[in-house]
């Protein structure tokens, strides 16, 4: 090194500095930058996940409150309540009881907590207004009854009268 001129020493020193910066960049700075970018990506992914969990938590809270409300309504029903009698009473109110051809009740278990009680009811010779009133009263009853299926046919040889088959259901708590 002593025999080298100042210019050659500066050239070697400059080259060494460039090599050191290059190695530092390749071996330290680039991996750190890549790791930093991965962390930023992970942080934004975690933020999205947290927002999703917050939305799901709120949905769960709302659904749980609705479920508890339904449970209270089901528990507060009269012990003598039956969907069959509800449908008969509504038919009497709407003045179509004599148009009922049949009513077929059935029950099926849908969970360890609930049973679905349903009644298939066939009406013949009903007007559209009477059918609408009947469906409205079923859907707006306090008994949590809902119409699952409606099949409507025009009656043969009668002006404007219909045949309708309805499937109405409600839930009840198991064992109650």
- The one-digit pLDDT tens for each residue of the chain (176 residues) are 678 888 888 888 898 999 988 888 888 888 888 898 999 999 999 999 999 999 999 999 999 999 899 888 888 888 888 999 999 999 999 999 999 999 999 999 888 888 999 999 999 999 999 999 999 999 999 889 999 999 999 988 878 899 999 999 999 888 76
> For the structural domain made of 83-173, what CATH number should be given?
3.30.70.60
HSE value, Cβ hemisphere, 13 Å, CA-based, for 153: 8
Q: Which two tokens stand for residue 22?
A: 């290059």
Q: Give the C-alpha separation, 43 to 54, whole Å.
A: 16
**Measured between alpha carbons, how far is residue 51 from residues 41, 56, 57 in Å?**
16, 9, 10
Task: Report pTM.
Answer: 0.68
* Nearest Cα residue to 99 out of 132, 131, 129, 133: 131
Token pair 């069959």 is found at 84
Phi, psi values for residue 173, rounded to 5°: -75, 135
């Amino acid at each position: 090194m002593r025999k080298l001129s100042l210019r050659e020493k500066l050239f070697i020193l400059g080259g060494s500095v460039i090599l050191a910066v290059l190695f530092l960049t390749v071996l330290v700075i680039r991996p750190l930058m890549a790791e930093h970018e991965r962390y930023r990506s992970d942080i934004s992914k975690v933020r999205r996940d947290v927002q999703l969990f917050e939305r799901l938590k709120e949905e769960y809270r709302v659904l749980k409150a609705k479920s508890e409300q339904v449970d209270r309504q089901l528990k507060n029903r009269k012990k003598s309540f039956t969907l069959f009698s509800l449908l008969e009473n509504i038919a009497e109110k709407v003045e179509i009881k004599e148009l009922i051809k049949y009513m077929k009740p059935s029950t099926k278990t849908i969970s360890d907590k609930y049973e679905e009680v349903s009644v298939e009811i066939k009406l013949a010779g009903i007007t559209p207004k009477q059918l609408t009133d009947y469906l409205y009263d079923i859907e707006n009853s306090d008994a949590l009854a809902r119409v699952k299926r409606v099949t409507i046919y025009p009656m043969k040889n009668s002006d404007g009268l219909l045949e309708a088959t309805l499937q109405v259901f409600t839930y009840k708590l198991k064992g109650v």
